[in-house]
Amino acid sequence: MAIGDISKQPIKYIVNTHYHGDHTGSNAYFAEAKGSTIFAHDNVRKRLADKEDHTHAELPVVTYQQGMTFHFNGDTINVMYMPAGHTDSDSVVWFEEANVLHPGDLFFEGRFPYIDLDGGGTVTGYINNVTKLIGMLKDDTKIIPGHGKLATKADYQKALDMLVDTTAMVKSMKAEGISLDDAVEQGLGEKYTAWAWNFITEEKWISTLYKGL
Q: Which residues bind Zn ion (CB under 5 A)?
A: 20, 105
Q: Write down the least CB distance from residue 126 to Zn ion, Å.
A: 11
What gap in Å lies between CA 127 and CA 92, rounded to an integer? 15
**Contact at 8 Å (CB) between 170 and 161?**
no
Q: Write down the least CB distance from residue 31 to Zn ion, Å.
A: 20
What gap in Å lies between CA 97 and CA 173, rounded to an integer? 45
Q: Given the complex with Zn ion, which of 20 and 153 has the nearer CB atom?
A: 20
Here the contacts of 45-50 (C-beta below 8 Å, separation 24 or greater) are: 46/89, 47/19, 47/87, 47/89, 47/119, 48/19, 48/24
Q: 45 in helix, strand or coil?
A: helix
**Contact at 8 Å (CB) between 83 and 10?**
no
Q: Write down the least CB distance from residue 18 to Zn ion, Å.
A: 6
Q: Write down the least CB distance from residue 22 to Zn ion, Å.
A: 6
Q: Given the complex with Zn ion, which of 50 and 190 has the nearer CB atom?
A: 50
Dihedral angle of Cα 137, 139, 144, 146, to the nearest 10 degrees: 60
Q: Given the complex with Zn ion, which of 88 and 105 has the nearer CB atom?
A: 105
Q: Given the complex with Zn ion, which of 58 and 105 has the nearer CB atom?
A: 105
Q: Given the complex with Zn ion, which of 107 and 210 has the nearer CB atom?
A: 107
What gap in Å lies between CA 171 and CA 209, rounded to an integer? 8
Q: Which of 35, 32, 38, 30 is nearest to 13 (CA)?
A: 38
Q: Write down the least CB distance from residue 73 to Zn ion, Å.
A: 26
